[in-house]
Chain A
Amino acid sequence: MTGFDRHRDHYAGLLIAVIGAGAIYEGSQYGIGTLTNMGSGFFPVMLGVGMILMGALMAAMRPAMAGSHGVHAPNWRGAAAIVLAVSSFILLANRAGLAPATFCCVFVGALGTKGTRLTEAAILAIGVTVFGVILFHYGLQVQFPILRGVLQ
Chain B
Amino acid sequence: MIESGFVGLLHGFTVALEPHNLMWCFVGVLVGNMVGVLPGMGVLSSISILLPLTFSMQPVAALLMLSGIYYGAQYGGAICSILLNLPCHPPHAVTCLDGFPMTKQGRGGVALGITMLAAVIGAAFGIVQMIFMAPYIAKIAFSFGPQEICSLMLLGLLAGATLAKGSAVKGIAMTLLGILLSLIGTDVNTGNERFTFGQLELSDGLELVAVSLGLFGIAEFLKSVNAINPEDTTSVKLGFRDLRPSRADLRQALPPVLRGTLIGSLCSLIPGTGPTIASFIAYATEKKISKTPERFGHGAIEGVAAPEASTHSAVQGDFIPTMSLGIPGDAVMALLLGALMIHGIQPGPRLIVEQPDIFWGLIASFWIGNLILVFLNVPMIGLWVKLLSVPYRYLYPTALFFVCVGVFATRNEMFDVAATLVFGAFGFLLLQLGFEPAPILLGFVLGPRLEENFRRSVLLARGSLATFIDRPISAVFVGMCALLILGQIYAAWRGKKVPVTIPETAFD
Contacts and interface: CB of A to CB of B under 8 A. Distances in A.
Contacts of B429: 15
B176 A51 contact: yes
Which interface residue of A36, A55, A86 has the most chain B CB atoms within 10 A? A86
Interface size class of B (residues with CB under 8 A): 35 or more
A15 B433 contact: yes
A50 B171 CA distance: 12
Interface string B464-477: 11000000000000
B319 interface: no
Contacts of B492: 61, 65
A36 B462 contact: yes
B88 to A, nearest CB: 15
Nearest to B393: A113
A71 interface: yes
B479 interface: no
A86 B173 contact: no
A43 B166 contact: no
Contact of A102 (B176, B227, B401): B401
Interface string B128-171: 00000000000000000000000000000000000000110110
A31 B401 CA distance: 42
Given A12-B434, A67-B167, A70-B432, A124 B56 contact: no
Chain B interface, >50% SS class: helix
B367 interface: no
Given A43-B455, A54-B173, A75-B225, A12 B401 contact: no
Nearest to B180: A47
B189 interface: yes
Contacts of B405: 89, 98, 102, 132, 136, 142
Contacts of A152: none
Contacts of A65: 167, 492, 495
Given A43-B183, A51-B176, A65-B495, A85 B465 contact: no
A51 B435 CA distance: 14
B244 interface: no
A36 B459 CA distance: 6
Given A72-B227, A74-B432, A89 B401 contact: yes
Contacts of B234: none
Which interface residue of B431, B433, B462, B465 has the most chain A CB atoms within 10 A? B433
Which interface residue of B432, B435, B455 has the most chain A CB atoms within 10 A? B432
B400 A36 contact: no
Contact of A40 (B53, B192, B223, B433): B192
Contact of A30 (B170, B192, B398): B192
A2 interface: no
B176 A47 contact: yes
B401 A57 contact: no
Contact of A54 (B172, B394, B398, B408): B172
Contacts of A101: 404
Contacts of B400: 82, 85-86, 89, 105-106, 109
Interface in B427-482: 428-429, 431-435, 451, 454-455, 458-459, 462-465
Nearest to A4: B432
A146 interface: no
A69 B434 CA distance: 5
Contacts of B294: none
Which interface residue of B56, B223, B392, B459 has the most chain A CB atoms within 10 A? B223
A68 B507 CA distance: 12
Contacts of A114: 226
Interface in A1-59: 8-9, 11-12, 15-16, 19-20, 23, 26-27, 30-31, 34-44, 47-48, 50-51, 54-55, 57-58
Contact of A44 (B53, B56, B194, B420): B194
Nearest to B420: A86
Interface string A122-152: 0011001000100010001011000000000
Contacts of A35: 458, 463-465
Interface stretch (B248-256, B304-312, B344-352, B409-417): B409-417
Contacts of A107: 397
B218 interface: yes
Nearest to A86: B421
Contacts of A38: 455, 458-459
A118 interface: no
Contacts of A124: 394, 397-398
Interface string B23-38: 0000000000000000
Nearest to A104: B401
Contacts of B428: 74, 79
Nearest to B428: A74
A86 to B, nearest CB: 5
Contacts of B384: none
A82 B225 contact: yes
A112 B56 contact: no
Nearest to B187: A40
B222 interface: yes
A34 B455 CA distance: 11
Contact of B434 (A37, A39, A66, A87): A66
B13 interface: no
B396 interface: yes
A71 B169 contact: no
B488 to A, nearest CB: 11
Contacts of B283: none
A94 B414 contact: yes
19 contacts: A12-B434, A35-B464, A35-B465, A38-B459, A47-B180, A61-B167, A66-B170, A68-B170, A75-B225, A82-B225, A89-B405, A93-B414, A102-B401, A106-B398, A107-B397, A113-B225, A140-B56, A140-B409, A143-B412
Given A58-B173, A109-B397, 10 more contacts: A15-B433, A31-B192, A54-B173, A54-B176, A65-B495, A79-B225, A81-B225, A110-B393, A128-B397, A140-B56
4 smallest beta-carbon distances between A and B, as pairs: A68-B434, A78-B225, A36-B463, A109-B397
